[in-house]
Amino acid sequence: MRIPKYWAKAEQSGADHRGRPVLFRIWGWSFDSLAEASRHAGARARSICDLVTTGEKRDAYDYLEHPLREEIVQSVGAPGEESAIITRNRYGALVLNCRSVCFADVDHERAGSDGIVDALRCLFSSRRRREKAQASRQATAQRVRDWFHHHPDRSCRVYETAAGLRLLFTDRHYDPVSEEVSRLLVDLGSDALYRRLTLRQECFRARLSPKPWRCGCRQPPNRYPWEHAEDERRYRAWQQAYEAKAQQYAVCRLLEVLGNGPVDEDLAGLVQLHDQYACRPDGVQLA
């Protein structure tokens, strides 16, 4: 899992290929120490400044290659051998990062209209819109069931989310960067961004707490890591308000268990951890 514990920022000034002054502030990271993170930040700043000096295009930079800057909230397992790490993402929600427990989020397809007449019915009829949404949910669920019918050696827990379904595979451990997992996520219709993030972070990710805007809370005032104590104070004040509102919502609820494959007992602890955070009593709104 590519989840660094240490982050540091470096500055590098120079001139672009037209001689105009530029100043870069770049984050570096390390799994081992703050000093190493600082050295890495300096090296990245110098490298990117050199690219600008030679006129390289922006897409030549490594912006898409660096791991996510997320605060580590909880670790499961011995240091360096964690089976899972809970982090807080850029908009403040908790995320479960698993080394080998496979998650796949599958969004419902957007319900389209069947011609002009149906489009007008959807525009003026809330009942018709609900019917279309229900048909989309049923189609997504059936597509997942069909996949498991053709893969009887697999098993998973199927959860309902605000936008679709979440699948938690329980038959065995999976390698997030394997060709097998890439095919599995594509076949199930998992979001393309999630597939790229799985490869980049070398782990499976599942959000554990609601998105702030879905529970009536504004987004955080700043991002981790904090360079000043006042920045963290403001963030913690926001976090306290967000967590109070988040308690009134659930991220997902269990719908069914699919597949004939055996349930790997080694995964039971992380299944329980996921459900403890992400699920709430029936009737609670999903967010």
The token pair at 180 is: 């097998």
Q: What pTM was computed for the model?
A: 0.87
State how far the Cα of 218 lies from the Cα of 279, in Å rounded to an integer.
22
Q: Is the pLDDT of residue 145 over 50?
A: yes
pLDDT in tens, 265-284: 999 999 999 999 999 888 89
State how far the Cα of 230 lies from the Cα of 210, in Å rounded to an integer.
26
Report CA torsion sign: 44, 45, 48, 51: negative
The token pair at 148 is: 């498991």
Say if residues 259 and 146 touch (Cβ distance below 8 Å): no
The better pLDDT of the pair 48, 43 is held by 43
Residue 233: exposed, middle, or buried by beta-carbon count in 10 A (0-12, 13-18, 19+)?
exposed
By DSSP bridging, strand 155-161 and strand 164-169 are antiparallel
Helix (H, G, I), strand (E, B) or coil at 193: helix
Q: Is the pLDDT of residue 17 over 80?
A: no
In this structure, the number of other CB atoms found within 10 A of the CB of residue 146 comes to: 10
Q: Is the pLDDT of residue 131 over 80?
A: no
Triad 14, 15, 16: Cα angle to 5°:
130
pLDDT in tens, 218-242: 999 999 999 999 999 999 999 999 9
Cα of first residue to Cα of last residue in the chain, in angstroms, is 27
For the chain, how many helices (H) and strands (E)? 7, 10
Using 50, 70 and 90 to split pLDDT, how confident is the model at 61? very low
Question: For the residues 98-121, what does the mean pLDDT come to?
Answer: 77
In percent, how much of the chain has pLDDT > 70?
88
Using 50, 70 and 90 to split pLDDT, how confident is the model at 167? very high
Residue 168: exposed, middle, or buried by beta-carbon count in 10 A (0-12, 13-18, 19+)?
buried
